Structure 1
Protein backbone atom coordinates (compact mmCIF):
# COMPACT_ATOMS: atom_id res chain seq x y z
CA UNK A 1 0.00 0.00 0.00
CA UNK A 2 1.24 3.47 -0.86
CA UNK A 3 0.94 6.23 1.71
CA UNK A 4 0.76 9.52 -0.14
CA UNK A 5 -0.32 13.01 0.87
CA UNK A 6 0.38 15.74 -1.65
CA UNK A 7 -1.16 19.11 -0.82
CA UNK A 8 -2.08 21.34 -3.76
CA UNK A 9 -3.47 24.87 -3.82
CA UNK A 10 -5.72 25.24 -6.88
CA UNK A 11 -7.10 28.47 -8.33
CA UNK A 12 -9.28 28.85 -11.38
CA UNK A 13 -11.49 31.56 -12.86
CA UNK A 14 -14.77 31.94 -14.62
CA UNK A 15 -14.54 32.30 -18.39
CA UNK A 16 -13.37 35.83 -19.22
CA UNK A 17 -13.35 36.46 -15.47
CA UNK A 18 -17.07 37.11 -15.50
CA UNK A 19 -18.05 38.25 -11.95
CA UNK A 20 -21.07 35.95 -11.62
CA UNK A 21 -20.47 34.04 -8.37
CA UNK A 22 -22.54 36.09 -5.94
CA UNK A 23 -22.16 35.72 -2.18
CA UNK A 24 -25.53 33.95 -1.93
CA UNK A 25 -24.61 31.55 -4.73
CA UNK A 26 -21.16 30.82 -3.29
CA UNK A 27 -22.75 29.81 0.04
CA UNK A 28 -24.66 27.08 -1.81
CA UNK A 29 -22.12 26.34 -4.52
CA UNK A 30 -18.97 25.72 -2.49
CA UNK A 31 -20.56 23.10 -0.19
CA UNK A 32 -21.81 21.35 -3.32
CA UNK A 33 -18.30 21.36 -4.83
CA UNK A 34 -16.94 19.90 -1.57
CA UNK A 35 -19.59 17.15 -1.49
CA UNK A 36 -19.09 16.32 -5.18
CA UNK A 37 -15.33 16.07 -4.64
CA UNK A 38 -15.87 13.77 -1.66
CA UNK A 39 -18.15 11.52 -3.71
CA UNK A 40 -15.36 11.19 -6.29
CA UNK A 41 -12.71 10.33 -3.71
CA UNK A 42 -11.11 13.79 -3.84
CA UNK A 43 -10.06 15.22 -0.48
CA UNK A 44 -10.99 18.90 -0.68
CA UNK A 45 -9.76 20.38 2.58
CA UNK A 46 -10.75 23.99 2.06
CA UNK A 47 -12.64 26.04 -0.55
CA UNK A 48 -13.53 29.70 -0.96
CA UNK A 49 -13.47 32.27 -3.70
CA UNK A 50 -14.99 35.46 -4.94
CA UNK A 51 -17.02 36.78 -7.87
CA UNK A 52 -14.79 35.37 -10.62
CA UNK A 53 -12.56 32.74 -9.09
CA UNK A 54 -12.27 29.75 -6.78
CA UNK A 55 -9.48 28.62 -4.43
CA UNK A 56 -9.24 25.00 -3.24
CA UNK A 57 -6.79 23.21 -1.01
CA UNK A 58 -6.78 19.53 -1.91
CA UNK A 59 -4.74 16.52 -0.95
CA UNK A 60 -3.99 14.06 -3.74
CA UNK A 61 -3.58 10.37 -3.15
CA UNK A 62 -1.39 7.92 -5.07
CA UNK A 63 -3.76 7.37 -8.01
CA UNK A 64 -4.88 10.97 -8.59
CA UNK A 65 -3.44 13.54 -10.97
CA UNK A 66 -3.91 17.27 -10.76
CA UNK A 67 -5.34 17.47 -14.29
CA UNK A 68 -7.97 14.77 -13.74
CA UNK A 69 -8.90 16.11 -10.32
CA UNK A 70 -9.41 19.63 -11.66
CA UNK A 71 -11.40 18.27 -14.60
CA UNK A 72 -13.71 16.34 -12.26
CA UNK A 73 -14.27 19.32 -9.98
CA UNK A 74 -14.70 22.00 -12.64
CA UNK A 75 -16.82 20.00 -15.07
CA UNK A 76 -19.49 18.82 -12.67
CA UNK A 77 -19.58 22.10 -10.75
CA UNK A 78 -20.37 24.21 -13.82
CA UNK A 79 -23.09 21.77 -14.85
CA UNK A 80 -24.63 21.81 -11.35
CA UNK A 81 -24.41 25.60 -11.04
CA UNK A 82 -26.17 26.16 -14.37
CA UNK A 83 -28.98 23.75 -13.43
CA UNK A 84 -29.45 24.98 -9.86
CA UNK A 85 -28.09 28.50 -9.27
CA UNK A 86 -27.93 30.31 -12.58
CA UNK A 87 -29.53 33.77 -12.45
CA UNK A 88 -28.16 35.22 -15.67
CA UNK A 89 -25.03 34.35 -17.53
CA UNK A 90 -24.14 30.70 -17.92
CA UNK A 91 -21.19 29.65 -15.76
CA UNK A 92 -18.21 28.49 -17.76
CA UNK A 93 -14.70 28.02 -16.40
CA UNK A 94 -11.47 29.12 -18.05
CA UNK A 95 -9.51 26.09 -19.24
CA UNK A 96 -6.42 27.26 -17.37
CA UNK A 97 -5.79 27.01 -13.65
CA UNK A 98 -3.05 27.52 -11.07
CA UNK A 99 -1.82 24.50 -9.13
CA UNK A 100 1.03 24.82 -6.66
CA UNK A 101 2.33 22.36 -4.10
CA UNK A 102 2.01 23.13 -0.42
CA UNK A 103 4.28 21.73 2.26
CA UNK A 104 2.72 20.11 5.31
CA UNK A 105 4.03 23.02 7.39
CA UNK A 106 2.35 25.50 5.02
CA UNK A 107 -1.13 24.00 5.03
CA UNK A 108 -2.50 26.25 7.79
CA UNK A 109 -1.15 29.36 6.08
CA UNK A 110 -2.87 28.38 2.83
CA UNK A 111 -6.14 27.70 4.67
CA UNK A 112 -5.90 31.16 6.21
CA UNK A 113 -5.15 32.69 2.81
CA UNK A 114 -8.13 30.95 1.19
CA UNK A 115 -10.50 31.78 4.03
CA UNK A 116 -12.67 34.87 3.65
CA UNK A 117 -11.86 35.67 0.05
CA UNK A 118 -14.64 38.27 -0.04
CA UNK A 119 -12.89 40.30 2.67
CA UNK A 120 -9.50 39.69 1.07
CA UNK A 121 -10.69 41.11 -2.27
CA UNK A 122 -11.99 44.31 -0.70
CA UNK A 123 -8.28 45.17 -0.30
CA UNK A 124 -6.80 43.48 -3.36
CA UNK A 125 -8.25 42.80 -6.81
CA UNK A 126 -8.05 39.39 -8.41
CA UNK A 127 -5.70 40.89 -11.00
CA UNK A 128 -3.33 41.96 -8.21
CA UNK A 129 -3.59 38.49 -6.65
CA UNK A 130 -2.98 36.92 -10.07
CA UNK A 131 0.11 39.07 -10.67
CA UNK A 132 1.49 38.08 -7.25
CA UNK A 133 0.94 34.37 -7.99
CA UNK A 134 2.67 34.75 -11.33
CA UNK A 135 5.71 36.37 -9.75
CA UNK A 136 5.84 34.28 -6.56
CA UNK A 137 5.66 30.94 -8.37
CA UNK A 138 7.61 31.89 -11.50
CA UNK A 139 4.79 31.30 -13.99
CA UNK A 140 5.37 32.95 -17.34
CA UNK A 141 1.81 32.92 -18.67
CA UNK A 142 -1.69 32.24 -17.39
CA UNK A 143 -4.27 33.57 -19.88
CA UNK A 144 -7.48 35.07 -18.69
Structure 2
Protein backbone atom coordinates (compact mmCIF):
# COMPACT_ATOMS: atom_id res chain seq x y z
CA UNK A 1 0.00 0.00 0.00
CA UNK A 2 1.33 3.44 -0.88
CA UNK A 3 2.49 5.61 1.99
CA UNK A 4 2.91 2.64 4.33
CA UNK A 5 6.30 2.65 5.99
CA UNK A 6 7.62 0.05 8.36
CA UNK A 7 10.69 -1.23 10.12
CA UNK A 8 10.01 -4.47 11.98
CA UNK A 9 12.96 -6.68 12.93
CA UNK A 10 12.27 -10.01 14.58
CA UNK A 11 14.24 -12.95 15.85
CA UNK A 12 12.35 -16.23 15.83
CA UNK A 13 13.60 -19.31 17.64
CA UNK A 14 12.26 -22.83 17.24
CA UNK A 15 13.47 -26.28 18.18
CA UNK A 16 13.58 -29.79 16.79
CA UNK A 17 10.86 -31.91 18.41
CA UNK A 18 12.03 -33.13 21.83
CA UNK A 19 15.12 -30.93 21.21
CA UNK A 20 16.75 -33.95 19.56
CA UNK A 21 20.11 -33.27 17.93
CA UNK A 22 18.89 -34.02 14.40
CA UNK A 23 20.21 -31.08 12.37
CA UNK A 24 23.44 -32.60 11.09
CA UNK A 25 26.32 -30.26 10.47
CA UNK A 26 26.77 -31.86 7.02
CA UNK A 27 23.44 -30.51 5.70
CA UNK A 28 22.36 -27.93 8.28
CA UNK A 29 23.39 -24.89 6.21
CA UNK A 30 21.41 -26.27 3.26
CA UNK A 31 18.25 -26.36 5.40
CA UNK A 32 19.00 -22.89 6.79
CA UNK A 33 19.14 -21.71 3.17
CA UNK A 34 15.75 -23.29 2.52
CA UNK A 35 14.33 -21.54 5.60
CA UNK A 36 15.78 -18.22 4.44
CA UNK A 37 14.21 -18.68 1.00
CA UNK A 38 10.84 -19.50 2.58
CA UNK A 39 11.00 -16.26 4.59
CA UNK A 40 11.85 -14.30 1.43
CA UNK A 41 9.06 -16.02 -0.53
CA UNK A 42 6.64 -14.78 2.15
CA UNK A 43 7.62 -11.23 1.11
CA UNK A 44 9.77 -10.73 4.20
CA UNK A 45 13.53 -10.20 4.29
CA UNK A 46 15.90 -12.83 5.67
CA UNK A 47 18.83 -11.25 7.48
CA UNK A 48 20.40 -14.46 8.84
CA UNK A 49 19.31 -18.02 9.65
CA UNK A 50 21.59 -20.15 11.81
CA UNK A 51 21.51 -22.59 14.67
CA UNK A 52 22.88 -25.82 16.00
CA UNK A 53 21.82 -29.46 15.99
CA UNK A 54 18.62 -28.93 18.00
CA UNK A 55 17.28 -25.45 17.19
CA UNK A 56 17.20 -22.56 14.72
CA UNK A 57 17.35 -18.76 15.01
CA UNK A 58 15.95 -16.60 12.21
CA UNK A 59 16.55 -12.85 12.10
CA UNK A 60 14.26 -11.16 9.62
CA UNK A 61 12.56 -8.02 8.49
CA UNK A 62 8.80 -8.53 8.69
CA UNK A 63 6.33 -6.91 6.31
CA UNK A 64 3.29 -5.55 8.18
CA UNK A 65 0.91 -7.52 5.96
CA UNK A 66 2.49 -10.81 7.03
CA UNK A 67 1.30 -12.61 10.15
CA UNK A 68 4.15 -13.94 12.29
CA UNK A 69 2.14 -17.07 13.12
CA UNK A 70 1.39 -17.80 9.45
CA UNK A 71 5.02 -17.17 8.51
CA UNK A 72 6.29 -19.58 11.18
CA UNK A 73 3.64 -22.16 10.29
CA UNK A 74 4.76 -22.09 6.64
CA UNK A 75 8.50 -22.03 7.41
CA UNK A 76 8.30 -24.94 9.83
CA UNK A 77 5.95 -27.05 7.69
CA UNK A 78 7.82 -26.59 4.41
CA UNK A 79 11.30 -26.95 5.92
CA UNK A 80 10.36 -30.18 7.72
CA UNK A 81 8.83 -31.45 4.46
CA UNK A 82 12.11 -30.60 2.70
CA UNK A 83 14.12 -32.52 5.32
CA UNK A 84 11.79 -35.54 5.06
CA UNK A 85 11.51 -35.47 1.25
CA UNK A 86 15.32 -35.46 0.96
CA UNK A 87 15.73 -38.20 3.61
CA UNK A 88 18.19 -36.09 5.59
CA UNK A 89 17.35 -37.83 8.87
CA UNK A 90 17.07 -41.56 9.58
CA UNK A 91 13.62 -41.07 11.13
CA UNK A 92 10.72 -38.73 10.44
CA UNK A 93 11.70 -35.13 11.17
CA UNK A 94 9.44 -32.71 13.07
CA UNK A 95 9.80 -29.30 14.65
CA UNK A 96 8.65 -28.67 18.21
CA UNK A 97 5.23 -27.02 18.47
CA UNK A 98 5.45 -23.27 18.96
CA UNK A 99 8.30 -20.81 18.71
CA UNK A 100 9.69 -17.70 20.36
CA UNK A 101 9.58 -14.32 18.65
CA UNK A 102 11.41 -11.22 19.84
CA UNK A 103 11.51 -7.72 18.36
CA UNK A 104 14.54 -5.47 17.96
CA UNK A 105 15.43 -1.90 17.13
CA UNK A 106 17.53 -1.17 14.05
CA UNK A 107 20.44 -0.16 16.32
CA UNK A 108 20.59 -3.77 17.62
CA UNK A 109 20.87 -5.43 14.20
CA UNK A 110 24.64 -5.94 14.24
CA UNK A 111 24.61 -7.41 17.76
CA UNK A 112 21.78 -9.84 16.96
CA UNK A 113 23.33 -10.80 13.63
CA UNK A 114 26.64 -11.69 15.31
CA UNK A 115 24.84 -13.52 18.12
CA UNK A 116 23.00 -15.73 15.64
CA UNK A 117 26.08 -16.14 13.46
CA UNK A 118 28.07 -17.49 16.43
CA UNK A 119 25.55 -20.06 17.68
CA UNK A 120 28.00 -22.99 17.79
CA UNK A 121 30.44 -21.06 19.93
CA UNK A 122 27.64 -19.71 22.11
CA UNK A 123 26.27 -23.19 22.81
CA UNK A 124 29.59 -24.49 24.05
CA UNK A 125 28.86 -22.37 27.12
CA UNK A 126 25.06 -22.38 27.41
CA UNK A 127 22.31 -24.93 26.77
CA UNK A 128 19.44 -24.16 24.45
CA UNK A 129 16.99 -24.37 27.35
CA UNK A 130 18.96 -21.78 29.34
CA UNK A 131 19.29 -19.57 26.26
CA UNK A 132 15.55 -19.72 25.52
CA UNK A 133 14.46 -19.08 29.09
CA UNK A 134 17.00 -16.25 29.21
CA UNK A 135 15.38 -14.63 26.17
CA UNK A 136 11.93 -14.98 27.70
CA UNK A 137 13.13 -13.35 30.91
CA UNK A 138 15.09 -10.61 29.11
CA UNK A 139 11.95 -9.65 27.15
CA UNK A 140 9.74 -10.08 30.23
CA UNK A 141 7.58 -12.67 28.47
CA UNK A 142 5.34 -14.53 30.88
CA UNK A 143 5.68 -18.28 30.49
CA UNK A 144 4.85 -21.54 32.22
CA UNK A 145 7.97 -23.71 32.30
CA UNK A 146 5.94 -26.91 31.97
CA UNK A 147 4.77 -25.79 28.50
CA UNK A 148 8.01 -24.45 27.06
CA UNK A 149 9.18 -27.74 25.54
CA UNK A 150 7.57 -31.04 24.71
CA UNK A 151 9.48 -33.72 26.55
CA UNK A 152 10.10 -37.22 25.33
CA UNK A 153 8.02 -39.62 27.44
Fold-level similarity (TM above 0.5): yes
Which residue of structure 2 lines up, in the alignment, with residue 58 of structure 1? Answer: 60
1:123 & 1:25 partners in 2: Cα distance? 24
Aligned length: 144
Residues 6-85 of structure 1 correspond to what in structure 2 (within 5 A)?
6-85=8-87
Give the structure with higher Rg (CA): 2
Whether the aligned pair in 1 keeps the contact of 2:42 and 2:71 (CA below 8 Å) is no
What are the superposed Cα offsets for residues 116-141 of structure 1, whole Å, 9 maximum, x if unpaired?
Answer: 21121112111221221122122223
Give the match's secondary structure for 2:27: helix
Which residue of structure 2 lines up, in the alignment, with residue 120 of structure 1? Answer: 122
Residues 103-142 of structure 1 correspond to what in structure 2 (within 5 A)?
103-139=105-141, 140-141=143-144
Question: How has the CA–CA distance of structure 1 residues 85 and 115 changed in structure 2, closer, same or farther, with 3 Å as cutoff?
Answer: farther
* Structure 2: gaps of 5 or more residues: none
Which residue of structure 2 lines up, in the alignment, with residue 98 of structure 1? Answer: 100
Give the match's secondary structure for 2:9: strand
* Structure 1: gaps of 5 or more residues: none
Q: CA deviation at 1:65?
A: 1.4
Q: Structure 1 residue runs of 4+, over 4 Å off?
A: none
Q: CA deviation at 1:30?
A: 0.8
TM-score (ref. length: structure 2): 0.87
Q: CA deviation at 1:85?
A: 4.5
Q: CA deviation at 1:55?
A: 0.1
Q: CA deviation at 1:72?
A: 1.5
